[in-house]
């Protein structure tokens, strides 16, 4: 395997974990972090104590607060910035020579939708608006069932690299094929991006159902599987409405695989948020979904699905889509209906 130079833009848990896996696989990886303590910890004790505490990082992974230095001269640039800061982050390094001339292959791990005047945009579209014109239809989206904790440990994980530029999809797939990662290529960029964003919405509903099932006479494992299957159908409906091209996307690791782990894993923040809605009355801290999104730091962790839920609802209304789980969860987060009433209605009890 040829060793490559890789920039990770955003040293949160997932960016750090993938950077560690790539470094472990023989690549030279440099991560950009906003926080001085994150940079110092990665460089000196080989641990990201803030975002991925307790996991040893490979010494081939280094970090810097200088985003232009990190991006400069790299074969691959992988963006792991939160969706709300995606364009502003990219603009900080868009004119370094290897980006300005289109030499570097640019991929993204960012999940969700980005608000715009004409409705929510997907991640790659948003990225390409901030990049030089040569990146039009050539950026790559990376997704799959991949909790950072297990990737950092080297546990076997499946990922998909999706791009309209087929050669770039294959190049990123090959980069990702290090020990512990089984990587595949896809050319259905819309389908893969919608799966990555919308599965977090379903996982919040799943978490609430899971918490209620602990003391319920009517909800159980069967009900949870019913919700998961119905949720996958909604993701597929949304995906095709937004331009997905391959039905196989929804049966792949980026579809059913990512949905399954997000709903069921102990590491899942969105599942946890759904549980906290029931167990700690989490939503009592917020007036409605807009207040929740504006003050999401009060949660103590980032439930991406709460933000994505608003944008899925906007798309569903604009395209007149029937998405009972996604739209019902929107009503819960907007304080229009209780979680129990939503779930009872969903299974036909109300």
Give the residue numbers marked as catalytic.
Answer: 199
How far, in Å, are 12, 35, 82, 148 from residue 40 at the CA level? Answer: 14, 9, 22, 20
* DSSP assignments along 120-162, one per residue: -B-HHHHHHHHS-GGGTTT-EEEESS--HHHHHHT--EEEEEE
CA-CA-CA-CA torsion for 225, 147, 265, 209, nearest 10 degrees?
A: -60
SS3 state of residue 34: coil
* Cα dihedral 102, 126, 244, 17 sign: positive
CA gyration radius, the chain: 20
Q: For residues 128 and 98, what is the distance between their CA atoms, to the nearest angstrom?
A: 16
Q: For residues 283 and 281, what is the distance between their CA atoms, to the nearest angstrom?
A: 6
Question: Where are any strands of DSSP class E within the chain?
Answer: 5-9, 28-32, 61-64, 76-79, 105-108, 140-143, 157-162, 181-186
Q: Which two tokens stand for residue 258?
A: 């990512």
Q: For residues 115 and 108, what is the distance between their CA atoms, to the nearest angstrom?
A: 17
Q: For residues 268 and 204, what is the distance between their CA atoms, to the nearest angstrom?
A: 10
**Alpha carbon distance, N-terminus to C-terminus of the chain:** 58
Residues 6+ away with beta carbon under 8 Å from 46: 56, 57, 58, 59, 61
How far, in Å, are 42, 163, 169, 270 from residue 140 at the CA level? Answer: 26, 5, 6, 25
């Amino acid at each position: 395997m040829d060793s490559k130079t890789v920039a990770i833009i955003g040293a949160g848990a997932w960016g750090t974990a993938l950077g560690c896996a790539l470094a472990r696989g023989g690549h030279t990886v440099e991560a950009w972090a906003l926080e001085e303590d994150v940079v110092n910890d990665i460089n000196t004790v080989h641990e990201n104590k803030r975002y991925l505490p307790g996991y040893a990082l490979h010494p081939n992974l280094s970090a810097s607060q200088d985003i232009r230095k990190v991006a400069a001269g790299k074969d691959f640039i992988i963006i792991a910035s939160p969706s709300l800061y995606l364009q502003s982050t990219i603009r900080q390094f868009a004119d370094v020579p290897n980006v300005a001339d289109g030499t570097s292959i640019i991929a993204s791990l960012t999940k969700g939708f980005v608000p715009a005047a004409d409705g929510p945009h997907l991640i790659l579209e948003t990225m390409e608006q901030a990049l030089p014109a040569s990146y039009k239809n050539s950026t790559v989206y990376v997704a799959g069932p991949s909790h950072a904790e297990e990737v950092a440990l080297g546990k076997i994980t499946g990922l998909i690299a999706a791009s309209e530029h087929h050669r770039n999809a294959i190049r990123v797939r090959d980069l990702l094929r290090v020990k512990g990662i089984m990587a595949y290529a896809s050319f259905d960029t819309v389908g893969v991006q919608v799966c990555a964003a919308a599965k977090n919405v379903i996982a919040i509903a799943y978490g609430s159902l899971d918490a209620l099932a602990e003391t319920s006479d009517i909800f159980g494992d069967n009900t949870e599987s019913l919700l998961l299957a119905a949720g996958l159908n909604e993701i597929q409906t949304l995906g095709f409405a937004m331009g997905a091209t391959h039905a196989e996307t929804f049966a792949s690791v980026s579809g059913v695989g990512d949905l399954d782990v997000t709903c069921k894993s102990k590491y899942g923040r969105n599942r946890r948020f759904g549980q906290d809605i029931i167990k700690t009355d989490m939503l009592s801290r917020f007036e409605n979904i807009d207040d929740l999104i504006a003050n999401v730091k009060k949660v103590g962790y980032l439930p991406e699905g709460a933000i994505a839920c608003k944008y899925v609802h906007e798309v569903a209304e604009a395209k007149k889509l029937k998405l009972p789980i996604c739209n019902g969860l929107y009503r819960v987060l907007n304080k229009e209906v209780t979680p129990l009433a939503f779930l009872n209605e969903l299974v036909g009890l109300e």
